Structure 1
């Protein structure tokens, strides 16, 4: 199928398809005599995999690393990348929880004690 048909089937813009091709994530199987790209019938599935992985937070390098020579996803490589990404997400969650607690404390200090913001910040964050 040509790039326009692939774009229509997958919902991915032709420019994004060309970008994924440049990044080594998707390759046309051939070119026509006129130079048009011809993609395999499984290309929409491949684009769905790329888009889904991106939504989960995997970088294009991560996705490229999860793919085997034959273009299929390696279960072992995907497990490793998933573990790495989960650790990153958990660290972000912990940082957000600390930030959330600090903001709640600040709001409480400013609301209940009618104190000024400088005093509340110094108390909470030991700013002297």
Structure 2
């Protein structure tokens, strides 16, 4: 199949497909006598794998070491290790995001707890002092 067909089937721009080919992620490309690229059906599968993996948080560098040149030649232990590590990375990110969210919610609550007779400038000082970012009277 030609690059236009592959692009239409995957929703990936031809320039992006050529980029994946150039960096070695898409290896099953042949050139016809006229110089046009010819992609076998496996290229569609590989391209979908690349897209899905990127959406799951894998970098292109990670993919270059993980994806086999032949879909039949997966290194089972490397694949499992990479997937388990990515799950751990996501869980670590979730913990950091939850902590960041909790801090922001606490800050919002403090800002919203502004006494009615206090202006915003004094409220900002109050909140910052409670967070230990400034001392009273500064």
Same fold (TM over 0.5): yes
Pairs aligned (count):
127
Q: Which runs of 4+ in 1 moved over 4 A?
A: none
* Aligned equivalent of 1:106: 107
Q: Give the secondary-structure state (helix, strand or coil) at the position aligned to 1:12.
A: coil
Find 1:118's aligned residue among 112, 125, 138: 125
* Aligned equivalent of 2:10: 10
* Aligned equivalent of 2:133: 127
* Aligned equivalent of 1:92: 93
* Aligned equivalent of 1:80: 81
The structure whose Rg is larger is 2
Equivalent residues of 1:28, 1:37 under 8 A apart? no
Q: Give the secondary-structure state (helix, strand or coil) at the position aligned to 2:41.
A: coil
Q: Give the secondary-structure state (helix, strand or coil) at the position aligned to 1:42.
A: helix
Gaps of 5+ in 1: none
Q: Relative to 1, partners in 2 of residues 1:5 and 1:104: Cα closer, same or farther, differing over 3 Å? A: closer
How much does 1:34 deviate? 1.0
Q: Give the secondary-structure state (helix, strand or coil) at the position aligned to 1:127.
A: coil
What do you get for the CA RMSD once the two structures are aligned?
2.0
How much does 1:69 deviate? 4.1
Partners of 1:88 and 1:122 in 2: CA distance: 34
